[in-house]
Chain A
Amino acid sequence: MQIAVSGGKGGTGKSTVAVNLAIALRGYFDLALADLDVEAPNDHILLGVELQNEEPVNMFMPRFNYSKCIKCRKCAEVCEENAIITMKDGTPFLMPTLCSGCRACEIVCPVTGAILEGQKLIGHTYITETPYEFSLVTGKLLEGEERAMPIVTAAKRRARSLNKELLLVDTAAGTSNTVSKALEDSKLLIAVTEPTPLGLHDLALILELARLMNIEAWVVINRSDLGEKEGIEKIAQKYNAEIVAEIPYSEAIIRSYVKGEPIVLADSKEAEIFKDLAEKIANYMG
């Protein structure tokens, strides 16, 4: 089973919710948390742990063996990224920054051995044991690399291989296809938002994505005392998404965030909110 925590914009408290929920849910499920915000993975920082068990994510890149290449240009024609340019006589050259590693060029090349296997490191995945009885899987894109999708795919595969009863996924911000990839196969989406016009705009988008993907969505309002909640209520209603929790603006949460000590472990009213939410999720997931 899988559930996802997402939210339109960054900074709405998505990772805080994910991390605290993971801790609160460990009493109900044998679980793993997957941080799939590969451009800015932070769950390990919030949990106060160092990333472990690094595995490289290598991307395929064609290398041309010019002694075999017959200059037919097929590789350049098929490349959707226009990463291969050809000289006047048909000699292909790769522009590495454009290549997505999809192997289409290798597949169409009619000469065995004209395209060789080249590799480029684009990021890493990690499995980190936390002090909280669950493992954290993290995907991390290398700086300067553009392609988040292969890292999300690799991290998700690695998380699945742990075969846990429950996989809790923390996605990136926004609604691009890497977010859909992270959400895929979730039974439930927890959308974290703020009661501000910005939060509203982004909540509508993420709920739309959940609808398109047929995923049940619940809404958590963070910093709920900050603004007008009516807008959020309207959008939630439109998408049939229940508002399941409200977290008031809290200095205690900010402090716990800064220190890397999850708030759910403290004896506080904020902790109760996460515990109640965990119970509700456990009941729903059955």
Chain B
Amino acid sequence: MQIAIASGKGGVGKSSVAASLIYLLKDGYSLIAVDADADAPNLHLLFGVERWEEKREIIGAKIAKINSETCIKCGICAERCPYDCIKLVDGVYKVNELTCEGCGVCKLVCPVEGVITLEEVRSGIIQKTTTKYGFPLISAQLDVGRPNSGKLVTEEKEWAKRIMKEEGIEHMIVDSAAGIGCQVIASLGGADVAILVAEPTPASLSDVKRVYKVVQHFREPAYLIINKADLNPEFKGLYEFAEEEGIPIIGEIPYDRAVPKSMAMLKPVVEAFPESKASKALREIAEVVKEQILR
């Protein structure tokens, strides 16, 4: 089974919830963890990973380059680039390699043959390790300024699937990126179940609603966890949303300073402070996950 954990918004504690759930499920179930937040991966930090067993470079991004020697400075490329990536800098037309999407339009419209070339560059790396807890973890890191992070996530999941086959692993737990863009779509695509994590703030509600629309698009069953649940008792928005959409709330985790402390210690809170309020709530959630989702 493939479970994707998503939140829409960053900072609501999705990764720390994911790390704790993975920690609690690892004993009874064979699983592989996939960190699909290629922009800011952090599961490896939360699991205290010190070295990677295997790394793969993912080539795939393309970047346009202008040969300033042969360029006649007509400016057509700059005018036609759909994303305003070409500018006249000190008298020469230059592609901003950190914003180029690699679509190739500039090359097509350039009147002089061969001035603009599209070059393949690395979009990032994906890497694998076996955590000290025994289960494998796959993580990605997008290179600075590169597009196409969805592709990294797709590659990660392919790799995870191969490992699952080879090692007879049953479950994949994907910690998806914040937002609703290509990385999140790649994370949710193909999942059997989505677990949404939100906190009781208007911003988090707005974002979890947005990611839920993506979940609906894939017709996946969704569950909701309310993190920092006692932060804002007057705020009922999350309950109303869950009620309206028929999304089961599988747990509420109180705000607990043990959580940031455990993160600083590079451990899931359920391991670092098993008796904390947050850990108790997380253990209850893990039981619900076992009964209702993994069965």
Contacts and interface: CB of A to CB of B under 8 A. Distances in A.
| Chains A and B are bound partners | yes
Given A176-B149, A177-B145, A42 B9 contact: yes
B256 interface: no
Contact of B144 (A46, A209, A228): A209
Contacts of B206: 40, 42, 45
A281 interface: no
Contacts of B179: 10, 37, 39-40, 148, 172-173
A175 B42 contact: no
Size bracket of the A interface: 35 or more
Contact of B145 (A13, A103, A143, A209): A209
A221 B156 CA distance: 32
Interface in A36-79: 37, 39-40, 42, 45-46, 78
Interface core residue of A10, A197, A208 (most chain B CB under 10 Å): A10
Given A175-B142, A175-B145, A45 B101 contact: no
Contact of B182 (A42, A146, A258, A260): A146
Nearest to A194: B260
A227 interface: yes
A196 interface: yes
A196 B267 CA distance: 12
Interface core residue of B104, B184, B203 (most chain A CB under 10 Å): B203
B40 interface: yes
Interface residues of B, number: 59
Contacts of B13: 11
Given A42-B9, A173-B178, A205-B144, 19 more contacts: A9-B11, A40-B9, A40-B10, A78-B108, A100-B103, A107-B108, A141-B181, A146-B150, A172-B179, A174-B142, A174-B177, A176-B142, A177-B100, A178-B181, A179-B145, A180-B145, A201-B40, A208-B144, A209-B98
Interface of A: 8-13, 15, 37, 39-40, 42, 45-46, 78, 80-81, 100-104, 107-108, 141, 143-144, 146-150, 153, 156-157, 172-181, 184, 196-198, 201-202, 205, 208-209, 212-213, 223, 226-228, 254, 257-258, 260
